Amino acid sequence: MDDKTRTELEAATFRRLVAHLRERTDVQNIDLMNLAGFCRNCLSRWYREAAEGKGVALSDPEAREIVYGMPYDEWRKKYQKEATLEQKAAFASAQPKH
């Protein structure tokens, strides 16, 4: 597989992942963190970091809007729920101990 095709496939896969996460507003970021160790905010940070690596200025809010499909504060108001005690405990236990 050539580099151009690989990049196109990776881009299509990323777009599908983002679309899936936009549709699955019932899945909270803490659920993603507890299960997979990353969330929508991680994706947006990685996107911003990749942009910076290419010399493209992109703020955190701009990157989050790309991933969330709307401003982050709007998404939080519409879809974010308070984390349960169980979710918080799972998150705390998964964090590396220093």
> Rounded to two decimals, what is the model's pTM?
0.87
* Domain assignment of residue 84, yes or no: no
* Domain assignment of residue 29, yes or no: yes
* Domain assignment of residue 14, yes or no: yes
Q: Give the pLDDT confidence score for residue 97 in this predicted structure.
A: 57
Mean pLDDT (whole number) for 12-16: 97
Residue 98, pLDDT above cutoff 60: no
Residue 96, pLDDT above cutoff 70: no
- We report the CATH number of the domain holding residue 8 as 1.10.3340.10
Residues of the domain holding 32: 3-78
Mapping DSSP onto H, E and C, the string for the chain reads CCHHHHHHHHHHHHHHHHHHHHHCCCCCHHHHHHHHCCCHHHHHHHHHHHHHHCCCCCCHHHHHHHHHCCCHHHHHHHHCCCCCHHHHHHHHHHCCCC
* Domain assignment of residue 50, yes or no: yes
* Domain assignment of residue 86, yes or no: no
